[in-house]
Structure 1
Amino acid sequence: MSKKTSYLLGILITIIIGTLLYCYLCDSCHCFPGQEASAPVENNNNVVEAPEVKQVTKNAFMISDANGDFNIETNDNFNFKTSNFSILEPISEKITEGTLKLKDYLTNSSLKAVNITGYYRSDETNNSAYPNLGLARANSVKNYLVSQGISSKQINTNGELNDDINPDDESTLYGPLKFGVLTLKEGEKDEALEAACEDIRKNPLVLHFNTGQAQINLTTEQRQKIANISNCVDHLGVKVQIVGHTDNTGNAENNVVLGQNRADFAKTYLVSNGILESNIETSSKGPYEPIADNNTEEGRKENRRTVITIN
């Protein structure tokens, strides 16, 4: 075999081996009969899904009477920050105008009442004294209507979970409310309300907290009692009575002052949650009406209490 022939044969063998290696290592190639090309592998490591954009909810201020000729509607409404029950200022002039029309309608129709349902989201924090933020918002609107001359006896408040209301980028909820007009029956009594008020008289709300404490942590049952107290004040015209008590440690006169401070603190808390100051009376019994043995720490703790009831 000549030198030239050997050289050409070496080149041919190199080409054949290179081709075989290429076909063997290439997943997407099918050089041989029956060889299937494998699907290309997609690299999703860099794929970023766009965040879901929720449309901001803007409910109009609408009140109509299905059994009468009253109807108002405006795109403005009462607005709130998320996890808050204070109405955002300023309140639109159109809302004020609509409120005055509602006042005239209710004044001339004693058997009519406006029903306010406040909405709240499940991801909001309830910092109010009420069972939920929706009810707290409805009570804030109620107080505004009362300030405009509408009788609280013609206002009903409710709270309702509604995760379909969406705030804007600044956490503002526009009109998380629903309004309606109810027609009452002449002489009809709200037996459920009267029963709730009587229960408050028999089983007052009792709070235990330390002087200087800035927040009152309420149980679910206590929140409902405050909601019931608010309803009793609004619809039956009763007053809230708050009495502060102490144990017998220290000077008796100083304890009377301490009891009054506790009662006043509870009053401030209720006022901040929408119960009008003029409807609350406070007093102190100091150490003079113990309910437990002052000779034990547990007994003294029980005696350091603030009792909230209605007359």
Structure 2
Amino acid sequence: MASSVKTLAWILLIGWMGGSTYWHVCKIKLLCDGPPQVSTAAPAGYSIPALSIVDGNNLSLSSAMNFGFKKSMPEPNYVNVKKELDSLAAYLKANSGRKLTITGLYSSVEQNTTSFPDLGLARADALKQYLVQAGVPGSQLVTASKLIDLTFSVDDSTHGMEFGFDSLIIPKTEEALAAAEKYENVFKTMDLYFKTAKADYIKTPENEKFIAEAIKYLAANKDKKLALTGHTDNDGTDETNLKLSKNRASSVKAVLMKRGISGTQLVTDAKGESQPKASNDTPEGRKANRRVSIIVQ
């Protein structure tokens, strides 16, 4: 009997020691479960949409790649479609009667930290500026935006823009050019036009609305500025046109200061003939290029 009790005691002691060892090694030091398992599952169903830019039978650009955007960022990655973009710029420069609408896409889950009303407009404007730098007149480019249910890759990137073409009709007089300018918001460029040999710009209900809204916005946002950029056609020397565009921008600044905008919130710049809005090959185009562009920044 004593032997049986002794055996049982040894069994209990060994069991207790084994359980204690297991708890210490496996539960406290976590050495029993092997290396942590890393999931190798691929992101669900993301694929880059193909790029397609088509203008009837006159232009067809396509690529398996597309513009890339990081989530909530306006700047596009052009690396994979630069060849197509350069071809697009060349087509627009060779076809001054065609107008391109660039529609920036954005999602409700993205944050807009830009000065534009939405992230889509910021993305479209970034592409517009690229094409302008490539020599495309700004008058051939219109920006728009579309809120859609975008998907994102594993590194939080998304892709795509939309493009549409239309005929560009240039008004024949300065008054008609001024009347054609439509106000949308103070963050979208509006052009001011002048009658021949006149220092005051032609006033319209649309540009008056812009100025009124700009005055209110700048009064409430002292860190923001209204940029005034003077432009000319290509008649005359570069030096003369640069001086003329500067004088036009300065004249608009003087008018706006009289209307209550602080001079510290008005920034003038002069581009001369370097950024045409339309082709300088026609009288209408040259009139369209003689302007001052205004935008809140």
Structure 1 length-normalised TM? 0.48
**RMSD over aligned Cα, in angstroms?**
4.2
Q: 1:198, CA displacement in angstroms?
A: 3.4
Q: 1:195, CA displacement in angstroms?
A: 5.0
Q: 1:241, CA displacement in angstroms?
A: 5.7
Matches within 5 A, 1:244-255: none
Rounded to whole Å, the distance in 2 between the matches of 1:134 and 1:157 is: 9
- Who is 1:161 aligned against? 147
Could you give the per-residue CA deviations for residues 194-220 of structure 1, whole angstroms, max 9, x where no partner exists? 75433213442324457xx7xx7xxxx
Distance 1:278 1:127, change over 3 A: farther
Distance 1:64 1:125, change over 3 A: same
Rounded to whole Å, the distance in 1 between the matches of 2:181 and 2:220 is: 31
Contact 2:51 2:65 in 1 (8 A): yes
Distance 1:81 1:309, change over 3 A: closer
Residue type at the aligned position of 2:210: I
Of all paired residues, the percent bearing the same amino acid is 24
Q: 1:185, CA displacement in angstroms?
A: 3.4
Rounded to whole Å, the distance in 2 between the matches of 1:179 and 1:151 is: 17
Q: Select 2:211's aligned residue among 186, 191, 201.
A: 201
Matches within 5 A, 1:143-154: 143-154=129-140
Contact 1:57 1:173 in 2 (8 A): no
- Who is 1:63 aligned against? 53
- Who is 2:103 aligned against? 117
Where in structure 2 are there 5+ consecutive unaligned residues? 1-40, 184-203, 232-244, 272-293
Residue type at the aligned position of 2:53: I
Distance 1:118 1:54, change over 3 A: farther
Distance 1:104 1:195, change over 3 A: farther
Q: 1:191, CA displacement in angstroms?
A: 5.3
Matches within 5 A, 1:16-27: none
- Who is 1:192 aligned against? 182
Rounded to whole Å, the distance in 1 between the matches of 2:182 and 2:269 is: 26
Q: 1:136, CA displacement in angstroms?
A: 0.6
Structure 2 length-normalised TM? 0.50
What SS is found at the alignment partner of 1:139? helix
- Which structure has the larger Rg? 1
Residue type at the aligned position of 1:127: T
- Who is 2:120 aligned against? 134
Q: 1:309, CA displacement in angstroms?
A: 6.4
Could you give the per-residue CA deviations for residues 64-123 of structure 1, whole angstroms, max 9, x where no partner exists? 112x411111122221111110223xx32x622222222222222221011110011011
Contact 1:115 1:155 in 2 (8 A): yes
Matched, 1:182 2:163: no
Contact 2:93 2:135 in 1 (8 A): no
Residue type at the aligned position of 1:137: R
Where in structure 1 are there 5+ consecutive unaligned residues? 1-50, 217-225, 245-255, 268-275, 280-307
- Who is 1:47 aligned against? none
Q: 1:142, CA displacement in angstroms?
A: 0.8
Contact 1:63 1:181 in 2 (8 A): no
What SS is found at the alignment partner of 2:182? helix
